[in-house]
Structure 1
Amino acid sequence: MPARCLACGAAVEPSAHSPVSYTHLDVYKRQGQYVEFILRDGSRRSYSMANAPHNLGTPPAIELHIRHMPGGKFTDQVFSTLKEKDIVRMEGPFGSFFLREESDKPIILLASGTGFAPIKALIERMQQQGITRPTSLYWGCRSQADLYLLDWARQADAQMPHLTFHPVLSEPGEGWTGRTGFVHQAVMADWPSLKGHQVYACGAPVMVESAQRDFTAQCGLPVDEFYADSFTSIARAACWTAA
């Protein structure tokens, strides 16, 4: 679908339990793609859409996961002054981060932080299409509080027999009994060979770049079976550090 430049109304639902909000904007898209917000000075901020096309609701709206970065030109506005029905400019959809449904290979879904957004859309697509390929979901965050949709991920794990969910924390607090460390290294510990897999990764650029390098060099993943949105590795200021 060609990209479109749109003026959209917003509805903001801040989360009380994590530094993430859920912002809904009227536009059509393909699962896993992203949109760009156009700010007054012409700069842009990119965010992946977190709901699949069949799950847009009524009226149709997209779901975005936006982490508040204090001092950020865009996220300060979202979390402090943006009101329901305010008009914002956005362009999209962009990207090719969609599930390759013609394949029968096992799937690794790899996310860090709010990179979980397009991964969620892929899972919704799998549920809707009845895709039962063996799938391992790895979601890495610093603390348990950052796993802002932990219940959703656990519910998907319970409802989808072919899906296994692995939350991984790099800075776990007291009481955490799950896995710790770097999330892409957890994948490598479980899957020393990825020769027969597909990997879909989204998150902090350093995680995506490390995963691509190590999975292909050390685990035998074919280079053309690693899928990630290009903006995750080139637009640090746009989405991950100075949003």
Structure 2
Amino acid sequence: MTINCEVLSVSSLTNNTYRILLKPAQPVDYKAGQYLLAVMGEKDKRPFSIASSPCRQNGHELELHIGAADENAYASEVVKAAQATYEKGDNSFLIEAPHGNAWLRDERQRPLVLIAGGTGFSYVRSMLDHCLSQGFDQPIFLYWGGRDLSQLYANEEMEALALKNSQLTYIPVVENAPEGWSGKVGNVLEAVMEDFVSLSAYDIYIAGRFEMAGAAREMFCNERGAERDHLFADAYAFL
């Protein structure tokens, strides 16, 4: 379904990463972990995870986190289109929603491992916010990886959430650690492998490139006992 949206704001989260807040002309009925398509043309529709939780605004507002470096025209053109719509003050920003089969299976209430790289954080943020706001008490392990700490733009927010919610364990992972860094360094999937002897009891949600999702399925299932039908990623629809 194509929906016109007003752009309520376009703000910078960190260098080349933007937060876009949309107000659709009609509420969008979606599940935590689904994505929308930004309609740039009849045959040009670009997917972005919905960072907001469906239980917060009941589909009346949608939040996106878009990494849009200058060399990434695919994303930066969407940010520019949103900025143009915001400046015009109309509702000409078009989306199609909802999409994706890797949504949160909250009825299962199994312990969760949420894994994201970079702005893939928007995918797991929606699910995390939904779980916490609904009072779920199962253990949640959130792993967020980036090249450096600046890419983990909500790091302080996640640290504060983990302090407030005993069921949440937040593990940031950076490839290039700043001086004095006491957290994990390296690859986010390797960090998960280091921390778990077995993943058989967990539902695992992964946001990242196809090769990351494929590597996660191979490593977790073959070496840590994860069950294939307990792994979720939009990439698996194509792998």
Partner of 1:229: 234
Partner of 1:13: 10
Q: In structure 1, which of residues 104, 119, 124 is the aligned counterpart of residue 124 of structure 2?
A: 119
SS at match of 1:39: strand
Scaled by the length of structure 1, what TM-score is found? 0.86
RMSD, matched Cα: 2.2
Pair 1:55 & 2:50 matched: no
How many angstroms apart in 2 are the aligned matches of 1:95 and 1:42? Answer: 18
Q: Which runs of 4+ in 1 moved over 4 A?
A: 78-81, 231-234
Deviates more, 1:103-112 or 1:210-219: 103-112
Tell me, yes or no, if the aligned pair for 2:3 and 2:94 is still in contact at 8 Å: yes
Name stretches of at least 5 consecutive residues in structure 2 with no aligned partner: none
Partner of 2:164: 159
Q: CA shift at 1:151, angstroms?
A: 1.8
Name stretches of at least 5 consecutive residues in structure 1 with no aligned partner: 235-243
Report the CA distance shift for 1:232/1:207 in structure 2 as closer, same or farther (over 3 A): farther
1:40-96: CA deviations, max 9, x gaps? 362121001011112228x92100000013244443334446231352221110112
How many angstroms apart in 2 are the aligned matches of 1:33 and 1:119? Answer: 10
Pair 1:188 & 2:193 matched: yes
Q: Which protein has greater RCO, CA pairs closer than 8 Å, 6+ apart?
A: 1
How many angstroms apart in 1 are the aligned matches of 2:150 and 2:71? Answer: 21
Q: CA shift at 1:108, angstroms?
A: 0.6
Report the CA distance shift for 1:232/1:187 in structure 2 as closer, same or farther (over 3 A): farther
Q: In structure 1, which of residues 135, 142, 150 is the aligned counterpart of residue 140 of structure 2?
A: 135
Report the CA distance shift for 1:44/1:75 in structure 2 as closer, same or farther (over 3 A): same
Query: Percent of aligned positions with the same letter in both sequences?
Result: 28
Scaled by the length of structure 2, what TM-score is found? 0.87
* Counterpart residue type for residue 12 of structure 1: S
Pair 1:173 & 2:178 matched: yes
1:184-217: CA deviations, max 9, x gaps? 1111111021111110111232222211110011
